[in-house]
Amino acid sequence: MTKYGVKFPIQVLQPIRDYLLKRESQVKKSRKQLEKEDPFADTTRLNDNAAVDAEAAEEYGHERVTALKSELDKTLIRIRKALSRIKVGNYGVCSGCKKLIDTDRLAIDPTADLCVKCAKSTKKQAQ
């Protein structure tokens, strides 16, 4: 029992923790691979007097890589926050209303930190 109510047993949390650690490793690997795909990472590019269409393709490639890296960074943050919640003992507790998050929701998204009701409310406020 925690100050939030019921605490998930270690038998439930351990597979989630293992999954999140594996996912974190995969995301880091994907991010590193993306960095290699960035046309701006090519140091020989600085000496290149490429045609306008080649420059446009490089710019597009860089913007694509930057956007994908940004999404991966957001995913990493969510994973790390979930791992932190497991460590401190409040995993599965809604950060909005402090009630337990439905286990079906956590099964779909183990990084969820809001219950469905609070997530909908937050989404409406953002619009």
Least confident of 64-68, 75-79, 80-84: 64-68
Residues 12-69 pLDDT 10s: 899 999 999 999 999 999 999 998 888 777 766 555 556 777 778 788 888 898 999 9
Domain boundaries, the chain: 10-93
C-beta of residue 31 within 8 angstroms of C-beta of residue 109: no
DSSP H stretches of helix in the chain:
10-37, 52-88, 103-108, 116-126
Q: Could you tell me the pTM of the whole model?
A: 0.81
Half-sphere exposure of 76 (CA within 13 A, CB side): 14
At residue 8, the pLDDT reads 80
Q: Report the distance separating Cα 87 and Cα 113, nearest Å.
A: 14
At residue 36, the pLDDT reads 87
